[in-house]
Amino acid sequence: MKAYRTLDDMGDISGKRVLVREDLNVPMADGVVTDDMRFRASVVTVAELADRGAIVLILSHFGRPEGPDPALSLAPMAKPYGTVLGRPVHFIDWDDAADAVSSLAPGDIALLENTRFFAGERQNDPAVIARFAALGDLYVNDAFSAAHRAHASTEGLAHALPAFAGRSMQAELDALNKALGHPEHPVAAVVGGAKISTKLGVLRHLVEKVDHLIIGGAMANTFLAARGVNIGNSLCEHHLAETAEAIFAAAEAANCTIHLPYDVVVAKEFRANPPTRTVNVHEVAQDEMILDIGPAAVEALGDVLKNCRTLVWNGPLGAFEIPPFDTATVALARVAAALTRDGTLVSVAGGGDTVAALNHAGVAADFSFISTAGGAFLEWMEGRDLPGVAALTHLPPNG
Ligand code: ADP
Ligand code: MG
């Protein structure tokens, strides 16, 4: 049973004003939207509500203004967003919002101005919550990627109006629950990338949850160094040696196997296609950098995945932006994709660079689920309660 209500639980909403929190914080360059993934993620919910006759009022933040800032207005977004929705989108400024909303008809869609034009949005200020709540009858939160923040439009509103999870939020929660909440074992986690210090909480939580923790990327260097391996000139956080040891100990206590690479690809320069060597981890020279894990390690990790039922992945295994150091990430991603297509593996991935790497490998569509969230995905991997999600499970005042 799900602990939150969805659009299925809304009943007859025709003529009702529904405030929908989306995350339309898309990347823009020179007034043009450069990646509309978040627009597309919102379509299912917005279209369904409009088709059911609701007056759809979309709330989103954009950038990090501390108050009104014309450069961060959502007004220029209404048209490109409408193109993605395939329906017209009205734009409503905060000044005359109540009047503008009252002139809308059932089935209309309107985008409200940037929620962060109120400084109190980020403080979850009751006055701002009341201002938003006065415009609507019901609240839908469809923005998992903003759910790690307790802001007025992401958390406070859920206590002020009857609250529901949108389709995108629901899909994200279902997938994440399948991957770490109630997964089929054995479970593998791949954690890579550059900075171990920002992902320590993730590793601590994962050793308690998964059967196999696969560590790659520069993250692996910190663990190898902690074990006394000479990693030469590699990117590494040497001061975290004790923390790495504590994670080894916690893994052993929890029966989680940690996999570190035993062969690596090294180079002396951080640039495309430099001279490289593929060596055992114990053979790295002082002036060399580990920039990818090696083919023997990839093959062994592929065998681990073949015996697993669930995979959660954050962080590339190498410096994938620079050829040929994308090799291991692409190869293991293809193994995971094939196992997913065969139906033996549920695969969930998230993180900005991870999603870029999976797209680069051409396998994003084969994964069971790709999270559009960055920070929220990592906080979820740490096992934290996300305030925007927790608020949806509270009973609303009059719902
Ligand atoms: P995500 O955004 O998916 O959470 P991160 O930001 O933690 O991932 O890590 C991605 C970065 O890690 C990439 O820029 C990649 O080049 C870098 N990286 C991975 N392996 C190495 C390595 N061995 N040496 C240096 N950088 C690495
Ligand atoms: Mg990143």
CB 62 within 8 A of CB 117: no
DSSP H/E element including 382: none
Taking CA atoms, 310 is separated from 190, 305, 347, in Å, by 11, 8, 6
The model's confidence at residue 221, banded by pLDDT at 50, 70 and 90, is very high
38 is catalytic: yes
- What is the mean pLDDT of the segment spanning 350-368? 94
pLDDT at 29: 84
- What is the mean pLDDT of the segment spanning 147-168? 97
Q: Give the single-character DSSP code of 3.
A: S
Cα(377) to ligand 2 centroid in Å equals: 12
Instruction: Enumerate long-range contacts of 119-128, CB under 8 Å, 24 or more apart.
Output: 119/66, 119/67, 120/152, 121/61, 121/151, 121/152, 121/153, 122/149, 122/151, 123/152, 124/150, 124/151, 124/152, 124/155, 124/156, 125/152, 125/156, 126/156, 128/152, 128/156
181 is catalytic: no
Q: Residue of the nearest CA to atom 18 in ligand 1?
A: 319
Quick: pLDDT tens for 176-210. Answer: 988 888 899 999 999 999 878 889 889 999 999 99
Nearest-atom index, ligand 1, CA of 355:
3
pLDDT at 180: 85
Cα(199) to ligand 1 centroid in Å equals: 12
pLDDT at 1: 38
- What is the mean pLDDT of the segment spanning 5-27? 96
- What residues contact residue 342 under an 8 Å CB cut-off, 6+ apart? none
Average per-residue pLDDT for the chain: 95
Best residue for ligand 1 mutational test, from 325, 353, 371 (most atoms within 8 Å of Cβ):
353
What are 113's two structure tokens? 């101005």
CA-nearest of 271, 323, 260 to 296 is: 260
Ligand nearest to the CA of 326: 1
Cα(193) to ligand 2 centroid in Å equals: 7
Active-site option among 82, 232, 302, 375: 375
The model's confidence at residue 396, banded by pLDDT at 50, 70 and 90, is very low
Sheet with 289-293, edge to edge strand ranges: 276-280, 263-267, 289-293
**Residue 279 β-bridge partners:** 264
- What is the mean pLDDT of the segment spanning 19-38? 90
What's the angle, vertex CA 264, arms to CA 224 and CA 282, rounded to 5? 55
Task: Tokens 């759910």: give the residue.
Answer: 147
Task: Tokens 């909480």: give the residue.
Answer: 201
Active-site option among 38, 122, 167, 199: 38
CB 17 within 8 A of CB 136: yes
Task: Tokens 């934290």: give the residue.
Answer: 384
- Say whether pLDDT at 398 is over 70: no
Determine the Cα–Cα distance for residues 130 and 343; give it in Å rounded to an integer.
48
Determine the Cα–Cα distance for residues 22 and 141; give it in Å rounded to an integer.
7
- What is the mean pLDDT of the segment spanning 133-152? 97
pLDDT at 399: 40
Quick: pLDDT tens for 267-317. Answer: 999 999 999 999 999 999 999 999 999 999 999 999 999 999 999 999 999
- What is the mean pLDDT of the segment spanning 4-16? 97
The model's confidence at residue 352, banded by pLDDT at 50, 70 and 90, is confident
195 is catalytic: yes
Burial class (CB within 10 angstroms; exposed 0-12, middle 13-18, buried 19+) of 228:
exposed
87 is catalytic: no
Give the helix, strand, coil percentages of the chain, each rounded to 5: 45, 15, 40
Cα(353) to ligand 2 centroid in Å equals: 5
- Cα 174 to chain centroid, rounded: 14
Cα(71) to ligand 1 centroid in Å equals: 32
Quick: pLDDT tens for 254-279. Answer: 999 999 999 999 999 999 999 999 99
The model's confidence at residue 394, banded by pLDDT at 50, 70 and 90, is low
Q: How many residues belong to the chain?
A: 399
Measured from CB, residues less than 6 Å from any atom of ligand 1 are: 192-195, 217-218, 235, 290-291, 314-316, 318-321, 351-354
The model's confidence at residue 2, banded by pLDDT at 50, 70 and 90, is low
Determine the Cα–Cα distance for residues 172 and 65; give it in Å rounded to an integer.
27
- What is the mean pLDDT of the segment spanning 126-145? 98
3-state secondary structure of 110: strand
pLDDT at 30: 83
- Cα 10 to chain centroid, rounded: 27
What is the radius of gyration, based on Cα positions, of the chain? 23
DSSP H/E element including 155: none
Quick: pLDDT tens for 233-246. Answer: 999 999 999 999 99
Taking CA atoms, 202 is separated from 32, 191, 209, 213, 377, in Å, by 35, 9, 11, 11, 10
pLDDT at 397: 45
